[in-house]
Amino acid sequence: ELKQEFTRTLTTANPQAPQNIVRYSFKEREYKIVDCMDQTAIHFSLNGNMVPKDSDEGRRQSIRSSTEAEKAPVETSAVTSEEAEIKDAEDTGDTEEAAAGEAAEEDQAAEAAEASEAAEAEEPPAPKAPEKKLANQFNFIERSTTTRHNPLLERGYQVEPAPSMNFSANVNQWDIYDAYVEELEKIEKSKEKEKSKPQTVKTEEKRSRRRLSHVEVQHGDSITKISKAAKLAERMVNLNTFDDIAQDFKYFEDASDEFRGQQGTLLPLWKFQYDKTKKLAVTAISWNPKYKDLFAVGYGSYDFMKQGQGMLLLYTLKNPSFPEYVFSSESGVMCLDFNSEHPYLMAVGFYDGNVAIYNLKKATSQPSFKSSAKSGKHTEPVWQVKWQKDDMDNNSNFFSVSSDGRIVSWTLVKNELVHMDVIKLSAEGTTMQGPEGLQLQMLGCGTSFDFHKKIDYLFLVGTEDGKIYKCSKCYSSQFLDVFEAHHMAVDTICWNPYHLKVFISCSSDWTVKIWDHTIKTPMFVYDLSCAVGDVAWSPYSSTVFAAVTIDGKAHVFDLNINKYEALCTQLVATSKKNKVTHVQFNPVYPIIIVGDERGHVISLKLSPNLRKMPK
């Protein structure tokens, strides 16, 4: 498209010229369309006061100026000749009287000449008087020639304005000029007052300003420099402290897998913990789609009797001792998700029914956007949030599911969260007897959902009563299909990233089931002898998935090797009272992270038998 050429022809015709001018032809006695229109377009015109030399007016002005120049020297010569004649007459009348005392006068003249020469030598020459500029009586822009009032206009006559007779314009110009002169005088007076101030006051004011600005700039720069340097130093110290774990993460491969047959193991690596989250459970884990070593952890409580504050932490594998970002919230965090197109945006759902968007680029501890009762927040805990592709107007949007039975679409429009109910879950066959014999329809409680990897409008919803609904964004009042999946709440539901028809679900009824969404019955059912908290597909193989149970164990399956039992079942949480809640695969590295009820996140490396690539 960029290389495509568009031909444009430039013509002398004026596109603004009218094409349908009609004039009456007296010769043919009818109206005729004028064919030849004037195509000239005047962009700029200025009326000047220059006169050509060859014109009559130019010749008159040149003759007038030459005659005035000739008259001036003739008058001066006549004056000088008259003065000379008067002096000669005086000299002839005095010759007789001057003859008697000629000798005495010669002596006096000599003395006077010497005195005059001395005076001329001592006195400097008188300065020349500046030539007075003659006023141009024909320049009507000058102030002396402009009239304050136009009598013709005052009497009601309409005068066509000429370039040299624009009285009102001249009056306005001089009003503006006077205002500028007054302003300049005020500025000069204020400068004189400042000059009259003592120098000590000025120097003190300048010094205090310099000190403040210097301290502020230095303070901001020093904080940023120190924070960067401290972060690098902290990572280097941690790298040295956990050097053996870093070496295992990078290079260790369990050689004993060759003698185990198909079985595999999980090698514990780093343990992530924070002092303020000891009494909170890990309620959500998500890897950043851009930075593969960065992951977010949500903290809250699954016990509705022990609800309080929540926290949101972001850890990196480069620094296991302290989180990169720390956010606190008034309500417990129940779910979170990173935006794949904008990795710095993170959607979070809370126990009180609110949803929020955190922007990691902004240096603030508060969410950039948050729902409220006015903007359609949920009335029950939000169990899952999922980002979707930007809409047609390039607005970011995500979906949320809650126990109130609503699936809501949230769109970020002009720095505001706008909600729209996509579908309301209604529990089939569950009606409650209301007052006066009314039959009230019960709403289904959504606990988890997931969107299809390719078909944007298709998604699955798991509920508290164990059913899975196949829904579409296009239908808000009915479901495409209903699966009688589990006997208890569906904790997690997830589409396979490779097989587009396959999805997996887990429940508190101890089972993990694998489904084809075109078939009503499950293809695989695994009983793990304990309530299953979470399940996740691996990013490197379509047949590998991991599940965690509340007895502190992690289970890794590979259907390509063994369809009936797990390749690895390993105890992750050593304490008996500690329950494992969530599990996630890293998108690049061969590790999984597991969260528990005591706020700990443990990273585990998969042995070679657990990460065999399918043929």
The two tokens of residue 393 are 């107007």
Q: Is the pLDDT of residue 485 over 90?
A: no
Q: Is the pLDDT of residue 475 over 60?
A: yes
Q: Tell me, what CATH number does 445's domain have? A: 2.130.10.10
Q: Would the pTM count as exceeding 0.75?
A: no
Identify the band that residue 125 occupies on the pLDDT scale cut at 50, 70 and 90: low
Average pLDDT over residues 548-560: 90
Q: Within a domain: residue 283?
A: yes
Distance, CA of 291 to CA of 53 (rounded, Å): 81
Q: Within a domain: residue 156?
A: no
Q: Is the pLDDT of residue 168 over 90?
A: no
Distance, CA of 384 to CA of 90 (rounded, Å): 128
Task: Identify which has the larger pLDDT, 171 or 454.
Answer: 454
Identify the band that residue 346 occupies on the pLDDT scale cut at 50, 70 and 90: very high
Q: Within a domain: residue 316?
A: yes
Q: What is the pLDDT of residues 3-37, one digit of tens each?
A: 888 888 888 788 778 888 898 999 888 998 888 87
Nearest to 336 by CA among 306, 310, 365, 308: 310
Task: Identify which has the larger pLDDT, 573 or 337.
Answer: 337
For 66-70, 196-200, 536-540, which range has the lowest pLDDT when averaged over its residues? 196-200
Report the pLDDT value the prediction gives residue 48, as an integer from 0 to 100: 80
**Residues near 85 by beta carbon (within 8 Å), at least 6 away in sequence:** none
For 195-204, 253-262, 383-392, which range has the lowest pLDDT when averaged over its residues? 195-204
Give residue 504's domain range: 259-427+440-610
Distance, CA of 261 to CA of 257 (rounded, Å): 7
Distance, CA of 272 to CA of 534 (rounded, Å): 19
Q: What is the pLDDT of residues 394-412, one digit of tens each?
A: 888 899 998 888 888 888 8
Pairing verdict, β 369-370 and 397-402: unpaired
Q: Is the pLDDT of residue 100 over 50?
A: no
Distance, CA of 367 to CA of 325 (rounded, Å): 13
Report the pLDDT value the prediction gives residue 584, as an integer from 0 to 100: 92
Report the pLDDT value the prediction gives residue 154, as an integer from 0 to 100: 44
Q: Within a domain: residue 538?
A: yes
Sign of CA dihedral 369, 374, 375, 381: positive
Which range, 38-42, 75-79, 144-148, 296-300, has the best average confidence (pLDDT)? Answer: 296-300
Identify the band that residue 295 occupies on the pLDDT scale cut at 50, 70 and 90: very high
Structural domains in the chain (count): 1
For 58-62, 130-134, 315-319, 435-439, which range has the lowest pLDDT when averaged over its residues? 435-439
Identify the band that residue 164 occupies on the pLDDT scale cut at 50, 70 and 90: very low
Q: Within a domain: residue 152?
A: no
Report the pLDDT value the prediction gives residue 158, as an integer from 0 to 100: 45
- Is the separation of the CB atoms in 561 and 611 below 8 Å? no
DSSP code, position 517: T
The two tokens of residue 56 are 């009559």
Task: Identify which has the larger pLDDT, 423 or 282.
Answer: 282
Q: Is the pLDDT of residue 450 over 50?
A: yes
Q: Within a domain: residue 228?
A: no
The two tokens of residue 307 are 């609800």
Identify the band that residue 95 occupies on the pLDDT scale cut at 50, 70 and 90: very low
Identify the band that residue 155 occupies on the pLDDT scale cut at 50, 70 and 90: very low
Identify the band that residue 201 occupies on the pLDDT scale cut at 50, 70 and 90: low
**Residues near 549 by beta carbon (within 8 Å), at least 6 away in sequence:** 528, 529, 530, 531, 532, 533, 555, 580
